[in-house]
Amino acid sequence: SGGTGTEATMDLGGDLDRTAIYVRYADVNGREAGPFAFSFDPRTALAANQRKLLEVTPSAWVDWAADRDQLYFGHLITYRCAIRQADIGFGDAAPATPLPLPPCDPKNPYAKPPDATSSVPVPDDARSVGVQLTWDDGTRSGIQVFRRP
Closest CA to 47 of 141, 140, 144, 135: 135
pLDDT tens digits for range 74-133: 999 999 999 999 999 999 999 999 999 999 998 899 999 999 999 999 999 999 999 999
Specify the pLDDT at position 64. 95
pTM of this structure: 0.81
Q: What pLDDT digit, counting tens, does each position of 39-78 carry? A: 888 889 899 999 999 999 999 999 999 888 999 999 999 9
pLDDT in tens, 3-50: 555 666 767 666 678 888 888 999 999 999 999 998 888 889 899 999
Tell which residue, 125, 63, 121, 64, has the closest CA to residue 93: 125
Mean pLDDT value across residues 141-147: 97
Reported as a pLDDT band with limits 50, 70 and 90, residue 1 is very low
DSSP 16-54: --SEEEEEEEE-TTS-EEEEEEEEE-HHHHHHHHHHHHH
**What is the per-residue pLDDT for 67?**
87
